[in-house]
Copies of this chain bind each other. A is one copy, B any other.
């Protein structure tokens, strides 16, 4: 007399298989991957896919909310000076974008979702505020810096991410370094240029 019977075992199994397959597909092939391909990768018919996720949008949100939440959960590393924290944050962000093409499409692409990018900018501004708070103590950021300055520099880095070679770590740090000089209090005493 249970109000609703126990869910079928193959049902829940399929759901997780779909989520896993979709996550991998989005990660590897970006936002443009189509529903048939995802269904096939999950070893499932499109009908089944649509039973679990009534809309492409639903699937995308389910899968990407995890990634985005993870991405947005990262704050400034606690033990570092403001400028160091930003450096680390930027490096992590670029690595995340490199490892997840859907994320890259979403944040460095044509802005298919105005909303997501707004959310991202808000988060970056919060990071900026954290950094400025910390800089009030360690003075590693230029005194006239605003949270928006920081947010935009980080966004610049995110949006050029697809064009900086991840093969060469030096290249990566150089791009971050030169960009962050815009808000550093001692922009010149760091990192000589590579040969």
Residues on A lying within 8 angstroms of B by beta carbon are 105, 108-111, 117, 121, 142, 144-146, 149, 152-153, 155-157, 159-160, 162-164, 174-175, 178-183, 187-188, 192-193
In whole Å, how far is A36's beta carbon from the nearest beta carbon of chain B? 22
Q: State the main secondary structure of chain A at its contact with B.
A: helix
**A160 touches which one: B142, B152, B174 (CB < 8 A)?**
B152
Structural contact, A160 and B159, CB atoms closer than 8 A:
yes
> 20 A-B Cβ contacts within 8 A?
A108-B159, A109-B109, A110-B110, A144-B192, A145-B193, A146-B193, A152-B160, A153-B178, A153-B179, A155-B163, A156-B157, A156-B159, A156-B179, A159-B160, A178-B182, A178-B183, A179-B179, A181-B181, A181-B183, A187-B187
